[in-house]
Amino acid sequence: MKVAVTGANGLLGGEAVAQLAGRHEVLAVGRGPCRLAAGPFAWADADLGDGRSVEQALRAFGAEAVLHAGALTDVDACEREPEAAWRVNVGGTEQVARACRALGARLVAVSTDYVFDGTAGPYGEDDVPNPRGAYARTKRCGEEAALLLAPDCAVARVAVVYGGRPGAKSTFATQVVEKLSRGEPVKAFSDQQVSTTLAANGAAMCLELLLKTAYRGVLHTSDATVLDRVEFARRIARRFGLGGEIVPVKTAEAKLLAPRPLQGGLRVERAATVLRSHRPLAIDEAMDRFHAEWVLRKTA
């Protein structure tokens, strides 16, 4: 099958390409040159923000299924540059959805727990979004663009993505490991309740949703455990056998530009009924896999 992945240089998209390569005919779509390890996939340099180039790349490839994982994911940068956030997160999703519509391709568009305001989480798929801030609002509009324009579409929401794949970008989770390993203290928000998503498992759930189901609408595809960020850091430290100081801080103290949902998190019971081969991981299982990825990364 011809499967395309946008955001292919990213955490989730990169995992998806690695899992698809060799099993399907794969087009990896990203901005600029490919930063993934070489493999049996084609690369298209196309900009989600330019109005047509991703749409053209997908149409030229003749995609039959698309995982749309590309986005401007820096929440504070989106707040500083709302027009760029709109162009990429709404316009880019529109490009992808239009191509899927024209090709009759199935689409899974990846979205976020930030579509909720974080006053009463964890949230299920039927809870009403109330996005705050430019990132959240553009991602919510992107969800609607995908669902409206692509007839065969599911939106997969993830949260706090992390992974240990070689070359994967730095995240809160990898910073916890690196700082504690150097004997430095780690600051973590004590008042942000979140879900997390091990990128490899999130990608596997999204791909199963895309290729093995006909499910349409929103599905939550994060890890299963809802916890605050201090507890997340502690779980990482414990699994990696790292001592050191984890310093609880309040979100307001950090004076961040964009608002953060405080009582957030995703309920994932539905994923267990829709998916057969992959499921949301409990935190201990997720930590075991993250640790295994890290060991591989260090020996790669």
Query: What amino acid positions are annotated as catalytic residues?
Result: 135
Site for ligand NAP in 22-81 (CB under 6 A): 30-32, 47-49, 69-73
Minimum CB distance to ligand NAP smaller for 169 or for 291: 169
* Binder of ligand NAP out of 4, 5, 7, 17 (CB under 6 A): 7
What minimum distance in Å lies between the beta carbon of 125 and ligand NAP? 15
Minimum CB distance to ligand NAP smaller for 48 or for 90: 48
What minimum distance in Å lies between the beta carbon of 241 and ligand NAP? 25
What minimum distance in Å lies between the beta carbon of 31 and ligand NAP? 4
| DSSP one-letter string for the chain | -EEEEESTTSHHHHHHHHHHBTTBEEEEEESSS--SPP-S-EEEE--TTSSSHHHHHHHHHT-SEEEE------HHHHHH-HHHHIIIIIIHHHHHHHHHHHHT-EEEEEEEGGGS-SSS-SB-TTSPP---SHHHHHHHHHHHHHHHH-SSEEEEEE-SEE---TTPPP-HHHHHHHHHHTT--EEEESS-EEE-EEHHHHHHHHHHHHHH----EEEE-S-S-EEEHHHHHHHHHHHHT--S-EEEE-GGGG--SS---SB--B--HHHHHH-SS--PPPHHHHHHHHHHHHHHHHH-
Applying CB under 6 A, what is the total number of residues that bind ligand NAP? Answer: 26
* Binder of ligand NAP out of 3, 4, 5, 13 (CB under 6 A): 13
What minimum distance in Å lies between the beta carbon of 269 and ligand NAP? 19
Minimum CB distance to ligand NAP smaller for 32 or for 241: 32
* Binder of ligand NAP out of 134, 160, 200, 209 (CB under 6 A): 160
What minimum distance in Å lies between the beta carbon of 47 and ligand NAP? 4
Minimum CB distance to ligand NAP smaller for 244 or for 258: 258
What is the distance between the alpha carbons of residues 26 and 18, in angstroms, rounded to a whole number? 10
Minimum CB distance to ligand NAP smaller for 75 or for 105: 75
Site for ligand NAP in 85-124 (CB under 6 A): 88, 110, 112
**Binding footprint of ligand NAP on the chain (CB under 6 A):** 7, 9-13, 30-32, 47-49, 69-73, 88, 110, 112, 139, 158-161, 169
